[in-house]
Amino acid sequence: MRKMEDNKDMSPDKGSAGALELLRHSASHLLAHAVLELFPGTQVGIGPAVENAFYYDFLRAEPFSLQDLDAIEKKMQELARADLPIEKVTFSKTEAIRLFKELGQELKVELIQEKAGDQVTCYRQGKFIDFCLGPHMPSTGQIKYFKLLSVSGAYWKGDEKGRQLQRIYGTAFFTKQELDDYLHLLEEAKKRDHRRLGAELDLFSFNEDLGGGLVLWHPKGAVVRQVIESFWREEHVREGYDYLYTPHLAKLDVWRRSGHTEFYDAMFPPLESEDIEYEIKPMNCPFHIMVYNSRQRSYRDLPIRYAELGTVYRYERSGVLHGLLRVRGFTQDDAHIFCRGDQLEEEVIKTVRFAKHFFTAFGFEEYDIYLSTRPEKYVGRLEDWDKAEAALKHALKDADLAYKVDEGAGVFYGPKIDIKVKDILKRSWQCTTVQLDFNLSERFDLNYTGEDGKDHRPFMIHRALLGSLERFFGLLIEHFNGNFPLWLAPVQVAILPIAERHHEYAGKLDALFKDNKLRSQADLRREKINYKIREAESQKIPLILVVGDKEVAAGTASLRIHGQGDKGQVNVSEFLDKVKKLNEHKSQAVNL
């Protein structure tokens, strides 16, 4: 029996947690309503709110065009102006299945059969009805400020073998100003897209003949990576880490023992050689464990900190690959700490502070800290998980660090601390992970000889500071809009001779800078100087030195700073000293 109810969902407090999620979920229903009004016969899939947006999936033979999106948005505005009540309706499961079959909505029938209980909750607005748990806004009139953004492909239930759907994305806010600000942010993000800048600045590329999600680092991108790696290694040595190199694959039995084959679903299929199965590594941890286990350890040896820039491979569906941000092969700035229980809290605190040191060096001032707790699928004993979560909470409290709890977001073998940095556009990027692990110590039978002469299990901390070099490089490109600070720039100084007779002087300057460990480049092409300047500016080279007759005679150079313009004549020795200091201090701004 169908039961009609007043929609008890109240207008949300716009400042409350979840208010925007409720608004955007209601906007997704408005989107589906508009599509069915304009394109009868379309089947609707699911329409959740996601971070900063909402979407709805549709099954339709014809692809949606940009003109279709304009028409759909206008229809949404029309339905919003109609201020239709959004009513909650309850059916028996049998009634709900019959209703959606009559409507020709086979995808909804499938969802109801799989997910609904005996009573099925739906929401109705005008002629549109949807299977949904809610909650929703009281009426369509309260959904005022929205914008459709894009259309892309999607698979039904995320299954690549399933039906191909079309996903329309949009966003919604409570005020016009908030919507305008967000749309401006999207425009800025487009300008900073690391994929476009990566091509323009000749930093990296992908090639489908090679395989999706596998990065080719070009010379300039490789220079930036090398600078990052050198800094990373130097700082880890200073912090008491030992550096490791480990293989790219191991016997499949290693991953069975670690639990990855059972709990981790992003592994490539195993390889076979001489009747032995091997797995290309998705993580570095078993290798570091084996180094630890290569000899007996004493309580005096701990803590032991192993670090590695280890390349790993994870299978990601082709539909989710996204430039450097989502790839299949990447290099983790990985480390594992083996310590005693009395050292655990101090090691966690030191690791978080170490991460903050890196953020400062790379020019990031804002970040959020999250404590991710036990997921649904996990290994190990519940009491160990409780101890691990308590230990991380205690460390964060003792370090006086504010954090949020991310329920169920831990990895299968332990809870973790995640740190997300905010870029110049205030977007959050996942970087640091500090994960406590009680499980692998047991699985690999790790121990150390205690002060009492008995064997004890060490605590194990998995941690990455930057996350992966690929993703962090993408973040840096977008954060700086390709204008890398001097210490990271692939070319720090461009030397531009005006005519061929100035080439010798330009070459001497180039050699001088290179001898002083600066990355310089003399442009000796037979091009006009204005063209060379435009080229150097377009490549976002921080410092540009123009040399002609006057400069050769005086032993000087005419300086241009990228984004600041002509700075006049400079004494070469004084210029060199200032640039070296800026480089050594990793200054974010160029002030000469």
**Could you tell me whether strands 3-5 and 87-92 are parallel, antiparallel, or unpaired per DSSP bridges?**
antiparallel
Instruction: Check: CB of residue 445 under 8 Å from CB of residue 309.
Output: no
Instruction: Check: CB of residue 562 under 8 Å from CB of residue 544.
Output: yes
CA distances to 326, 336, 449 from 281, in Å = 17, 16, 30
Please provide the DSSP assignment of 169-209 as one string.
EEEEESSHHHHHHHHHHHHHHHHT-HHHHHHHTT-EE--TT
Q: List the catalytic residues.
A: 285, 314, 332, 334, 336, 416, 462
Longest distance between any two alpha carbons in the chain, whole Å: 97
The rounded Cα 461 to chain-centroid distance in angstroms is 22
121, β-bridge pairs: 90
Shortest CA distance to 197 belongs to which of 562, 473, 384? 473
Neighbouring CB atoms inside 10 A of 3's CB total 11
Q: What whole-number distance in Å separates Cα of residue 48 and Cα of residue 172?
A: 13
Q: What whole-number distance in Å separates Cα of residue 102 and Cα of residue 145?
A: 33
Half-sphere exposure of 182 (CA within 13 A, CB side): 18
For helices 382-398 and 344-361, give the axis angle rounded to 10 degrees. 60
Query: Which residues, in sequence order, are CB contacts of 186 under 8 Å at separation 6+?
Result: 149
Q: What whole-number distance in Å separates Cα of residue 294 and Cα of residue 283?
A: 19
Q: What whole-number distance in Å separates Cα of residue 374 and Cα of residue 88?
A: 34
Classified as helix, coil or strand, 590 is coil
Shortest CA distance to 353 belongs to which of 463, 443, 218? 463
DSSP H helices, 116-175, are none
Q: How many residues make up the chain in this entry?
A: 592
Alpha-carbon Rg for the chain in angstroms:
29
Instruction: Check: CB of residue 43 under 8 Å from CB of residue 29.
Output: no
DSSP H helices, 458-515, are 469-480, 503-515
Neighbouring CB atoms inside 10 A of 357's CB total 12
Cα-based torsion angle of the residue sequence 163, 166, 169, 170 in order, rounded to the nearest 10 degrees: -120
Neighbouring CB atoms inside 10 A of 157's CB total 15
Structure tokens at 76: 């949404």
Instruction: Check: CB of residue 154 under 8 Å from CB of residue 57.
Output: yes
Q: What whole-number distance in Å separates Cα of residue 96 and Cα of residue 112?
A: 8
Q: What single-letter DSSP state applies at residue 116?
A: -
Q: What whole-number distance in Å separates Cα of residue 505 and Cα of residue 518?
A: 17
